[in-house]
Chain A
Amino acid sequence: MRTVRIQQSPFSYGDESDAFARQAGPAGAVVTFLGRVRDEGGRLSAMEIEHYPGMTERAVTAILDEAMARWHLTAGLVIHRHGPIAPGEAIMMVATAALHRGEAFEAAEFLMDYLKSRAPFWKKEFGSDGAEWVAAQDADEDALRRW
């Protein structure tokens, strides 16, 4: 079971995690990860995420397909939001299910590394000192090399 959802609306991490675990098949291990907007010590008032409709779904699906094949996942899920998101709110989640935990953890880390710099999303932060596009870090690119 492979699920990719690119959406503006909020989602419930608890409900999504429960639903994912229920349809995870014979997996002995389920790993879930939730990414949220940091408030940067109160300096951040909002985040806006732009994306490339069409390419986003293609790129995320390709990344998830690779993870599912490489770690023999019984199920995989990526939910990623776009549009305005407030500090503390969920941006995205991934869930992986595998026979053993090693595969589920590794696949989740792979998904996070690739979603960060190979899925067409761009974050803009709005704070007390204006608005600024978040710059990609060299470390994000380096993180891909271990895979």
Chain B
Amino acid sequence: MIDVLYFAWIRERIGLPKERVETTAATVADLVAELVAREERYAAAFADTRAVRVALDQELAEFTSPLAGVREVAFFPPMTGG
């Protein structure tokens, strides 16, 4: 089980901020493919992954990053702080 968090317009498109996901995905990209196959709202959120950033256990990561040992995955748009 892995905690998956969504922020900003990705959270709005999927319709929830956080969920627990049962997955055997090896990488972030594999997890995204599983989510997209579930329901249209996930497909809408991940339609253009160039506009999506990912963090693993609160550190920025890549879509090719492995999920082994990871407890928390977060998806969000490019950040707009400052």
> In the complex, are the beta carbons of B9 and A133 less than 8 A apart?
yes
* Contacts from B to A (Cβ < 8 Å): 5, 7-9, 11, 55, 58-60, 74, 76-82
> In the complex, are the beta carbons of A115 and B7 less than 8 A apart?
no
Residues of A within 8 A of B78 (CB): 117, 135-136, 140-141
> In the complex, are the beta carbons of A134 and B80 less than 8 A apart?
yes
Q: A50: CB under 8 A from chain B? A: yes
Number of A-B residue pairs, CB cutoff 8 Å, is: 72
Q: A126: CB under 8 A from chain B? A: no
> In the complex, are the beta carbons of B76 and A120 less than 8 A apart?
yes
Q: Given contact pairs A120-B7, A133-B80, enumerate 19 new A-B contacts (beta carbons under 8 Å).
A: A50-B7, A50-B11, A52-B76, A55-B59, A55-B74, A58-B58, A92-B81, A117-B78, A118-B60, A120-B55, A120-B74, A120-B76, A121-B82, A122-B80, A133-B8, A135-B80, A136-B80, A140-B80, A141-B78
Assess A115 versus B58: contact at CB under 8 Å? Given A122-B8, A133-B77.
no
**Contact check: which of B7, B9, B80, B82 meets A52 at CB < 8 Å?**
B7
Assess A124 versus B8: contact at CB under 8 Å? Given A55-B55, A55-B74.
yes
